[in-house]
Structure 1
Amino acid sequence: MPAIHKLPEVLINQIAAGEVVERPASVLKELMENSLDAGSRAIEVALAQGGVKQLRITDDGCGIDRDDLALALERHATSKIASLEDLEAVGTMGFRGEALAAIASVARTKITSRATGAAHAWRVTERERDPVPAALNEGTVIEVEDLYYNTPARRKFLKSESTEFGHCDDVFRRVALARPDVGFQLSHNGRVSLRLAAGDAARRVREVLGDDFMANCRLVDVDSGGFRLSGFAALPAYARANRDAQFFYVNGRFVRDKLIQHALREAYADILHGARHPAFVLFLDMDPAGVDVNVHPAKTEVRFREGRAIHQFVFHGLTRALATPVQSASMSTTPAEASASYAGPTEQARLAVEEPGLPRALSAWQSTAESASPAGAGSGFSPAAFSRPAPGRSYEAERYSQLAPQIQSLPAAPDGNQASAPLGYALGQVHGVYVLAQNAQGLVLVDMHAAHERILYEQLKHVLEGNPGVQRLLIPAVFNASRIELATAEEHADTLLRMGFDVAAAGPNELAVRSVPALLGRANVADLLRALLAELRDFPASEVIATRRNELLATMACHGAVRANRQLTLPEMNALLRDMEATERADQCNHGRPTWTQLSMTELDKLFMRGQ
């Protein structure tokens, strides 16, 4: 073995550069964050050949003093922290003091800066560390040229010019979304690619993600327990094939955190198809002391001190925003007010749990439904009620006899105030599949099966909420378990019991299950519990049980919803529309498909070239 020796400073810097500087986009991220930390109000980025040939950033921040310029290129030199207490409550984007040193070790770097109040600017380079006078009105200009010129092996790993510019463009947009109060400009090979003026958050999101995103998103603004979640979350109709429209920030810093991603995925799980990915721009603001950003040199990973609280806050906050009923959303109410406007389960849900063909355990919730459903709750639309007809009678005759008094009391035509009904009033059906309605904006097209399926599904969930129901097993289910599964079951015994699982060790490598949630009595106990333990081990909260239960309820709702080619009367159609307006997540069915769409008068006029 060779003797142990200390590495030269140049090699140390290049090793550090391998962690910080992966490609031109990494350089851009570090330098833009430094500009924001300097209090800049306008930042200009100019790239040449995807940022490999040249990357130049100009800002109007506070600048760097002459005596600090040379030190800025040294490793572990920073003005942002000075003690362990500062590190544990970092409030700036940069703090490690490694970025400029790492960049200067693999590229030709030039810094020109004029500090606030200085007579003129000064300049240093990666080779000439003694400052020399320079001309600059204000702020700082950093030029990075010929990335990896001194490490050809690393340069071979870079992609084509267009690919590298694409990565730089992504980073630029991420930073710009976090600071709508700052103006940004990006140019490539002398041509302006994107210019963003300072403004509000909604304008910045619209400029970066486009009008389609803003037209299909919900406002999120939840504040509780020292945490605040704000931003915009797209509805399932805007779901993507990849994750290119997912932006999550913690105290203004873009992060990709496993805990946060799990909470977001679970919030969308009930309304989004599994193969699609949601789109969102969300900001989590919290005490900097509650999050550790010193996890990875790239600073895109964080660790929370109260992971369980953060997970539940993000999950429930986003769930409430996405669950806002159509009526509440159309009136621009807050998510809390929208949730409060939900009228609760209607007669439909009570009839659903009486279906003889359903699992016996559901009958336990019949009394819950009757007590939870206020008089007059919902509109009473149920042309596809679950109850079986009397002998010798058809389904249609039975349903009509049950609901004739309610249907006759419902309006069949507008009452003159269409603004009070966001989905308008029914005009008729198209081939027994779609309901046509007229509202203040124009024409509304409703997929009646999909809409009724969502109404039934939400009503069934509401009936079962807060009452898991437990089924005791005559013979305990015993299965082999690993040591980590045994430890997890012991650690989370109380949580499992609240979910309906009575679990205990039956031997050194076995677990015994004595009870399960009633709705899942026929499920494979071993597989279900293993999935649950894996979830509890990796995340502070689990939605496995709710997901399995909801799968069953979704099947029930799908079978009970009104079918295609069923002719409805105008009062029945209007009843469906009113139930949609009062139902959470009524914008999409259980499979993530939209339940209704709006055609404005302008769009209708274009179809017939009116006014052209």
Structure 2
Amino acid sequence: RGEQFFFVNNRFIKSPYLNHSVNTAFEGLIDLKYNPSYFLFMDVNPKSIDINIHPTKTEIKFDDEHSIYAILRSAVKHSLGQFNIAPILDFSHDKNMELPYSYRNKKVVEGVGIDINENYNPFQTTNTKSSENIYLDLDKNSQFNQDQINSIEEDSRVNTLDFKDDNNFDSNSVYQLNKKYLINKIKSGIVIINQNRAHQRILYEKFLKFITVDGSTPQKLVNPLKMNLSIQEVNLLFNYKKLLKSSGFLFKKISNNDLNFEAIPTFLDPNKVESYIEDLLNNIKDEIPDKNFSKSDLTAKLMSKSLAIKNGKKLLIDEQEYIVNSLFACKEPNVSPFNKKIYHTITFDELEKKFL
């Protein structure tokens, strides 16, 4: 874990919290057991930091550490993308046009000559025999008789498949497979996307932005939902109340075991509020908090996991296109918030090799 240095206003500091921000920016690029090396310099208003929380003064406290976490992570991600360290999905580059490395030093093949029949007359008419009589003039010694020929001809008609012209294929079309995967055609091949993980990534970045930067405008419920919960569940939700409010969830306590939900994020279905809350509670209970883990980041992860479209759900065309377009507009479309691979690309070259 050497060669990891933070400098704030030219003062060396240690910050497990900010170190986690840098590590999350490298998710999907390096193995989890490795740590990136870095020298990071930050200029911060001295009035917004407290340097007296540690005897050696190497640890400091920021007034708004959540915003600094988000800004630092975004800056590192931007740098990785700017210098082409992070992989990107190129929809315009056609790998089929690339020259294989083994052919680069070979001589150019001369063009194939074309023989032209100068005596050809396009207006000369000939008597073309119909397909029904074409076999009548075959040599009598042929090894096929007429019945065999008719049988072969019939079989060929039965086994012929009607393939549509590939030129009519809409390259922007999205297709759902097995109610779990979305398949999108690109110039170099196809992309296969896990719909649940993709939606988790979309929601995670949206919630994290709500919590750390913008805040969400909630939609008020026409009929507020009253939920009867255990005291432990009520306490769990109140521990996250401020962050949930930033995300669009508004609720208040009406008794020790009862909560009244008055508003939810605008993009959620008001008819499914109870199932959303139940999933969220289950995920909070299952999550093991890390002392170096941002609570806002954890909240965004938990909500994205709870509210994401589940595998097994049939999606409308508009929903499929929304998932694909929104995913590749994300800062980190490669992996889910839980570091799981979201999509896999299969090139036409790879498909060709499968049939060699």
User: Could you state the TM-score of these two structures normalised by the residue count of structure 2?
Assistant: 0.43
- Max Rg structure: 2
